[in-house]
Amino acid sequence: MNLDNIRIVLVNTSHPGNIGGVARAMKNMGLSRLYLVEPKQFPDEQASWRAASAADVLDNAVVTASLDEAVADCQFVVGTSARGRRIPWPLQDPRRCAERMASQSASEQVAVLFGREDRGLTNDELKICNLHLNIPTSADYSSLNLAMAVQVVCYELRMLLDVDRLSAAEDAEWDTPFATRENMERYYQHLESTLVDIEFLDPAAPRQLMARLRRLYSRVRLDEMELNILRGILTETQKWVRKARSGE
Ligand code: SAH
């Protein structure tokens, strides 16, 4: 994913305060490319005020005279709409749509279009889109404030970036390799035979014990060192059982 290849396009925005709010939402989530198609009032003091420390996003905003101009070099365009299925079109929620945008953005220019405060995007504007995005809401009131709608979409993109980074960092920084499937399987055999030895598990009536233990262990990913410790404990346990039995 490359956030620099994703642009936010605001069509015919009426209130400059919303433009500022959008700039702030974008910068908070790490996006920087703002396109304004025929804004009613821009630049404007209210926009700068609402942008707070995102003045750079406003300064670098590209103002265009038409939507076509704003998305001319884009290969993938998403249209957002408060009303689901205004026209029959592939429709996705922000999470699934963000996944799609993330993968397209690796090699393509991606645009997300946001409509007018009073009327949203026209059907003609929605028709140039590859995909429509709808933010699920209460049935009573489906229309979010423009900047809040942008926030939701940018947040979903951010979450994907962090997931990418966190899972990579988790694996890279771990000091011991994670246990292989083969070694986990060996451990489960060892665990099962030990549980039989100590008569915790009755082979005639095993119930779901091993399945539950497997599920427990698979919730944490054990590394090889941890696995060795657990195997050591089992080996010692079996030794004591044998000793006790031979003294019986
Ligand atoms: N009355 C307009 C709503 C405009 S809200 C309409 O019915 O279409 C301004 C913009 O915010 C919308 O054009 C859209 O880009 C975005 N937006 C607001 N609520 C949304 C929602 N629930 N899902 C997706 N986008 C939304």
Burial class (CB in 10 A: 0-12, 13-18, 19+), 122: middle
Ligand 1: which of 15, 78, 144 to mutate, judged by most atoms within 8 Å of the beta carbon? 144
3-class DSSP state of 48: helix
Q: What's the whole-model pTM score?
A: 0.77
* Cβ neighbours for 131, distance < 8 A, ≥ 6 positions apart: 76, 77, 78, 79, 89, 90, 91, 92, 97, 100
- CB of 117 closer than 6 A to ligand 1? yes
- CB of 12 closer than 6 A to ligand 1? no
- CB of 112 closer than 6 A to ligand 1? no
Q: Return the residue whose CA atom lies nearest to atom 15 of ligand 1.
A: 114
Where exactly does CATH 1.10.8.590 map onto the chain? 181-246
With bands split at pLDDT 50, 70 and 90, how would you rate the model's confidence at 218? confident
CATH architecture for the domain at 3-170: 3-Layer(aba) Sandwich (3.40)
The pLDDT of residue 178 is 83
The yes-or-no verdict on residue 170 having pLDDT over 80 is no
Least confident piece of the model among 59-68, 144-153, 157-166: 157-166
- CB of 82 closer than 6 A to ligand 1? yes
Cβ distance 22 to 46 under 8 Å? no
**Distance separating alpha carbons of residues 70 and 91, to the nearest angstrom:** 22
Where exactly does CATH 3.40.1280.10 map onto the chain? 3-170
With bands split at pLDDT 50, 70 and 90, how would you rate the model's confidence at 168? low
- CB of 21 closer than 6 A to ligand 1? no
Burial class (CB in 10 A: 0-12, 13-18, 19+), 197: middle
> Which of the 8 DSSP states describes residue 13?
-
Q: How far is the CA of 238 from the centre of ligand 1 (A)?
A: 66
pLDDT digits 0-9 by tens, 2-38: 999 999 999 999 999 999 999 999 999 999 999 999 9
**Distance separating alpha carbons of residues 113 and 118, to the nearest angstrom:** 15
Ligand 1 atom closest to the Cα of residue 136 is 22
**Structural fold of domain 181-246:** Helicase, Ruva Protein; domain 3 (1.10.8)
Ligand 1 atom closest to the Cα of residue 114 is 15
pLDDT digits 0-9 by tens, 82-139: 987 777 888 999 999 999 999 999 888 999 999 999 999 999 999 889 899 999 999 9
The yes-or-no verdict on residue 200 having pLDDT over 70 is yes
Q: Determine the residue type at 189.
A: Q
Tally Cβ neighbours within 10 Å of residue 208. 9
